[in-house]
Structure 1
Amino acid sequence: MKKTLFAAGLALTMLTACAPQQKKEALTMSGLNPAKFETTIDGTKQVHLYTLKNKAGMEVCITNFGGRIVSIMVPDKNGDFKDVVLGFDSIADYQNVPSDFGAIIGRYANRIALGKITIDGDTIQLPTNNYGHCLHGGPQGWQYAVYDATQPDSTTLQLAMVSPDGDMNFPGNVTVNVTYKLTEDNGIDIDYNATTDKKTVINMTNHSYFNLNANPSAATMDGILYVAADSITPVDSTFMTTGDMMAVEGTPFDFRTATPLTDRINASDNEQIKFGRGIDHNFVLTTKGDDTKPAAKLVSPVTGISLTVYTNEPGIQVYTGNFLDGTVTGKRGTVYPQRAAVCLETQHYPDTPNKPQWPTAYLEPGQKYHSHCIFKFGVEK
């Protein structure tokens, strides 16, 4: 009897040893499991997580669902790598929890007044999803699109899609190409291109929520901010630009000298701060489209991590996470409180289609839309 039991046990051990082992999915440096980003949308559109790495050890993870930056691992002042953007651990959360975390925004980043644009004398009504205005392309903007993705090398991701005529009621079949390039000097170079077969409006940006303290469970308003801007485009109580320019001198919006955000966002006696519930404003850049000049710079006094933004765009939206409210749980089970991040969105000005005095956002057949942004990371000790 003992021999029989021994033989049975030995056979079971051999079968277990010989059985094919389930492959364990390798995690990214930021702790993401790529398997949690594998899905099919609308029966045919494949979603994946793509990882970019450079020789300096920096890692950027991006999903082709909305072209979203999911994580950014950069070294702090001690040489330890930290994740400095908000996001989710799985594609299910990106699908089910409304957010703009890390996304490519289009067709029109920011707001269009009352959702109305006029093209060649015809008024077009867009969907309204924010205080009676069209925000970030409407409720199903490009942050929810699935891009075709190609990764030609370890530092490059190419994304492409076609937004059909009538998408969120915007006219024109628009062909979009976005390239993410992780540079050897720790920059994320984002190149946006688009063409159309019918006159339309285009204004693209990336909506990453940066927490350079690498602690998204707490507000990050101790960050020191510089913005190359002499003025902002002020807003009304519905966050819509008035069409005016307001000089920043003598106001909480003067970041021409690097200043801690905490010194400015609680200026409750300022009407614009009240309207924005903090800072949520377009800054009129003095860089004049020169993407070799710093448009903005944010530095964490905790980690020493710095982020410098370069762009060919005329404006940048500075948003201090005022609408984060502790109801969203992100990566690693972290609850995101108010002001847990800062967004630096390079752009044409809000509502430019209805403000003819501002740089045009119209795109016609035969023209090419091109926008360029670099998020360059460094360390200040």
Structure 2
Amino acid sequence: MKRLCMAVMAICVLLSCSEKKEDTTLSGLKQSDFISEVDGKPTALYVLKNKNGAEACVTNYGGRLVSVMVPDKNGKMTDVVLGYDNIADYIASDGNFGALIGRYGNRIAQGKFTLDGVEYELPHNDNGHCLHGGPEGYHAVMWDAKQINGQSVELTRVSKDGEAGFPGNLDIKVTYTLTDDNAVDIKYEATTDKPTVVNLTNHSYFNLSGVPGSQILDQEIMINADKYTPVDDLLIPTSVIDPVENTLLDLRQPVAIGAHINESFDQLVKGGGYDMNWVLNTNGDINTLAAKAYSPISGIGLEVYTNEPGIQFYTGNFMSGQDKGKHGVLYLHRGAFCLETQHYPDSPNQPSFPSVVLRPGEKYMSHCIYKFIVNK
């Protein structure tokens, strides 16, 4: 009888360990910490794995990329995106760690635009302007999720006509795939029943060093762009497109992020660092490199590919240094960078910029690939 009790106890311990192991991701996240409910819908953490052992985790609250584990130069699996380790912290935060951004990523001047003779008023959440679709944009709503297979998850929602002031019922599908070449592939699709504007993106904060709570000033950046869209004091494009040549925004060759970030160049001063849109040379070719970042500490590189005409490079200038992220790590000022593939800021009010108008019968399609490589 005693032996039978001991055997039962041993089985219970093994089952407990097995459940615990299944609940914990490679990045140390517990799936149970992402089980909750928002607006009557259940939240969850979806785990994607590829044949190399890399891992990406996505939550359907805000469609957020929570962690990405890829190997460094020594083969050590390393988390390269910032975020939180539970759903409660995401809900409590007004930040955009890893989030899907919409209906319009980046800024719309004065929080309004006119389309087909009708003026639409949007939330004013950034110095009188509308930023990232307003305070209750797509980063702060629930998405319906379906895990297609072990490497892909599909997120869908209908953004109702009038939501945040935008016209038209927008039917959206976003698919995250962790590919076998260690890339996070993001495909966006949308249709509308009324003329509207659309500009979707992902707002992941990257730190490639593998050093939790570090800054990104020693990491290198290259952006394949001859031009950029200058901004005014409130970071709204001035409507002109200027060359990067002979400016500190010439990133066509790799440069350390911190090399010039504090210099008195007008655009860097206005942004408090890098925070502007580059006009890509890629002509919408998803196979042409748009940007590349690299950490000399970890040897991890990030290549960005997109069919979008622009990319916003942001260096965590508004990070306060007081935010505690995954595993209690304090995220410092300039503790990460973002590379947001996009149409240009304020395009609805800038007729010379590529159009962001979507009409009934048309399909919005945007594609972004964040590919992680190792330079040993």
CA shift at 1:307, angstroms?
Answer: 0.3
Larger Rg: 1
In the TM superposition, 1:270-309 aligns within 5 A as 270-309=265-304
2:178 aligned residue = 182
TM-score by length of 2: 0.95
Large movers: runs of 4+ above 4 Å: 16-23
CA shift at 1:19, angstroms?
Answer: 11
1:351 aligned residue = 346
Task: Say which SS state the counterpart of residue 283 (structure 2) adopts.
Answer: coil
Following the alignment from structure 1 to structure 2, what is the Cα–Cα distance between the partners of residues 179 and 97?
A: 24
Q: Judge conservation of contact 2:39–2:142 (CA < 8 Å) in 1.
A: no
Match of 1:36 among 33, 38, 43: 33
1:380 aligned residue = 375
CA shift at 1:239, angstroms?
Answer: 1.1
In the TM superposition, 1:1-381 aligns within 5 A as 17=9, 24=20, 26-43=23-40, 45-267=41-263, 269-381=264-376
CA shift at 1:372, angstroms?
Answer: 0.3
> Which 10-residue stretch deviates more, 251-260 or 369-378?
251-260
Question: Percent sequence identity over matched residues?
Answer: 52
What is the total number of aligned residue pairs between the two structures? 370
Following the alignment from structure 2 to structure 1, what is the Cα–Cα distance between the partners of residues 296 and 311?
A: 23
Following the alignment from structure 1 to structure 2, what is the Cα–Cα distance between the partners of residues 137 and 272?
A: 24
Q: Judge conservation of contact 1:52–1:59 (CA < 8 Å) in 2.
A: yes
Q: Judge conservation of contact 2:168–2:192 (CA < 8 Å) in 1.
A: yes
Task: Say which SS state the counterpart of residue 32 (structure 2) adopts.
Answer: helix
Following the alignment from structure 1 to structure 2, what is the Cα–Cα distance between the partners of residues 161 and 108?
A: 15
1:3 aligned residue = none
Following the alignment from structure 2 to structure 1, what is the Cα–Cα distance between the partners of residues 113 and 192?
A: 17
Task: Say which SS state the counterpart of residue 251 (structure 1) adopts.
Answer: coil
CA shift at 1:26, angstroms?
Answer: 2.5
Task: Say which SS state the counterpart of residue 263 (structure 1) adopts.
Answer: coil
Q: What are structure 2's unaligned runs of at least 5 residues?
A: none
Letter in 1 for 2:332: P
CA shift at 1:216, angstroms?
Answer: 3.8
After superposition, what is the alpha-carbon deviation per residue over 1:130-178, rounded to whole angstroms, capped at 9, x for unaligned? 0110000001000112111111211111111101111101111110000
Task: Say which SS state the counterpart of residue 65 (structure 1) adopts.
Answer: coil
After superposition, what is the alpha-carbon deviation per residue over 1:83-126, rounded to whole angstroms, capped at 9, x for unaligned? 00000010000000111000110000000000011011111110
Q: Judge conservation of contact 2:110–2:130 (CA < 8 Å) in 1.
A: yes
Letter in 2 for 1:215: V
Q: Judge conservation of contact 1:119–1:200 (CA < 8 Å) in 2.
A: yes
Residues 238 and 150 of structure 1, relative CA distance in 2, 3 Å threshold: same
Task: Say which SS state the counterpart of residue 52 (structure 1) adopts.
Answer: strand
After superposition, what is the alpha-carbon deviation per residue over 1:259-313, rounded to whole angstroms, capped at 9, x for unaligned? 111112121x211110000000000001010010000000101000000000000
Letter in 2 for 1:300: S
Following the alignment from structure 2 to structure 1, what is the Cα–Cα distance between the partners of residues 210 and 66?
A: 14
Letter in 1 for 2:160: P
Letter in 2 for 1:173: N
CA shift at 1:252, angstroms?
Answer: 1.0
Aligned-residue CA RMSD in angstroms? 1.8
Task: Say which SS state the counterpart of residue 331 (structure 2) adopts.
Answer: coil
CA shift at 1:20, angstroms?
Answer: 7.2
Task: Say which SS state the counterpart of residue 324 (structure 2) adopts.
Answer: coil
After superposition, what is the alpha-carbon deviation per residue over 1:9-54, rounded to whole angstroms, capped at 9, x for unaligned? x8xx88x9499776536210000000000011122x1110000000
Q: What are structure 1's unaligned runs of at least 5 residues?
A: 1-9
Letter in 1 for 2:243: A
TM-score by length of 1: 0.94
Q: Judge conservation of contact 1:86–1:216 (CA < 8 Å) in 2.
A: no
